[in-house]
Amino acid sequence: MLLLPRARCLDLLGKTHFPSVGIEQLKQIHAQMIVSGALRRDSAVGRLIERYAGVSAPEGMNFAHLAFRYHAREADVFTWNVMIRRSPPQEAILLYARLGARSGGGGGAPAPDDRTLIYVLGACARSAGLREGMQVHAQIVKTRPPEAMDVAVLTTGVHFYGSLGEIDSARQLFDEMPRRSSATWNALMAGCCLGGGAAEAAALFRDLLLDEGGTRPTERTMVVMLSACARLGELALGSSIHGHILKAISIQDDAFIGTGLVDMYSKCGCLSSAQMIFAETREKNVLTWTVMTAALAFHGRGEAAIELLDAMLAEGVSPNAVTFTCLLSACCHAGLVNEGLHLFETMTRRFGVAPSVQHYGCVVDLLARVGMVEEALRFVTDMPMAPDAVLWRTLLCACKVYGRSALGEEIGRKLLQLERGPDGPPCGAAAACEDYIALSNIYAAGGMWGDVLRLREAMKRDGVQNKPGSSSLQIKPGAPCGQVKLLR
């Protein structure tokens, strides 16, 4: 075997095109680095681990862990950061705990730096590790004075809290930050949207435009705000943001902003505007096509959605699982039974997309909406996975609409049993209330008033309350949305 000099091994690891090299070639370089003594340098170990972790093959991460275990007894902070960044979220959190124990307990490990904190907070966000992330945040507050805290670290903290629905904690951290970047504002706005607080995100955007620190919206800000406007149905604010985008950004060459505009206009009821933006967007990815398909489905244009699939394929873009969910939903809303069944059959055979519960749910809804309740029931029973409550609920609604009282009673009891859980009481109060009411309506439609009374008594016994719904109404453009309670 030809031995490469130590400098040559390090040079190969530093090449920007190196990730294209396979695992076998990387193992050969690893062996030569052991023979040449190049791995005595911590920086070489970190670079080797980073290359192993970047290999797409499953064994790449295994070799990264082995190299870390046997060659990095005195690893520098760069090596630790590589392992924390590249590892799955739970493993990354455990690695951070090991680093903290060794650095604080005389184990010779380096102290975590800003990148370490960013990586571990990101891991906590991805793994829904609220308790672990709060502990990391507490360590940051204890060990660093406010003026020494890095903006990127605190921004990751805002993202962490926002992504887990802890909007109050995210807002408190945001307000306490001495300095903020546009990424900080984006993180809080995205967290608000994720937690259903689109109105709060819109208010934040208005504050950002008046920020005394000179922070200005970025392209990411626009994408977040377009999503907020889509959720709120805020056409006036969405159009204003569109105007701001036209002054600063070329939407024809930005697939993400073009996609956001298509989504916003379609959900605000302006399908023609959505179609115009879609036509003008030159750079379309699979998400852009999928959002346009969803827009057509939302507006009952099933035939146009299917035609869009042909145009998508002509452009060389392959549909994914979400695309097929939108296509099946379009067929469902338009009553295109044969077309929907054909799409469901071809998604696996032609495109290699394995159907999920959502796809089965769309087909069940498609059949149930046109009165093919028995066929929908057979479709559910033939599924390769266990049907969830949504599927049974779809069938229950169809039984009410088409007067299948006996079948509806059977499905309703099955659904209530599914929602109860192993110990008896309902698992989710809102879902259980909806199911009780649906079954009660079936009894009432069949004149079975004794069963209605017994079901109402069971609701009281299980502690299920009929909670009022609510609807948001905007009195005038730009004004906050007020909520009106709807009693059932």
Rounded to whole angstroms, how far apart are CA atoms 46 and 50? 6
The whole-number average pLDDT for the span 163-181 is: 93
Lowest mean pLDDT among 255-264, 445-454, 459-468, 471-480: 471-480
Segment 268-293, tens digit of pLDDT: 999 999 999 999 998 899 999 999 99
Helices (H) and strands (E) in the chain, counts: 26, 2
Residue 372 dihedral angles phi and psi, to the nearest 5°:
-85, 65
Residue 112 near residue 100 (C-beta atoms within 8 A): yes
* Angle between helices 89-104 and 114-126 in degrees, nearest 10: 140
Tokens of 111: 């102290």
pLDDT for residue 418: 76
Q: Which residue has the higher pLDDT, 192 or 40?
A: 192
Reported as a pLDDT band with limits 50, 70 and 90, residue 159 is very high
Looking at every residue in the chain, the average pLDDT score rounds to 84
What pLDDT score was predicted for residue 160?
97
Q: In the prediction, which pLDDT does 71 show?
A: 73
Average pLDDT of the residues in 338-358: 94
High-pLDDT (> 90) share of the chain, %: 45
Tell me if 113 sits within 8 A of 103, measured CB to CB.
Answer: no
CB 119 within 8 A of CB 88: no
Classify 470 as helix, strand or coil: strand
Higher pLDDT, 18 or 323: 323
What's the full length of the chain, in residues? 488
In terms of phi and psi (left: phi > 0; alpha: psi -120 to 50; beta: otherwise), the region of 140 is alpha
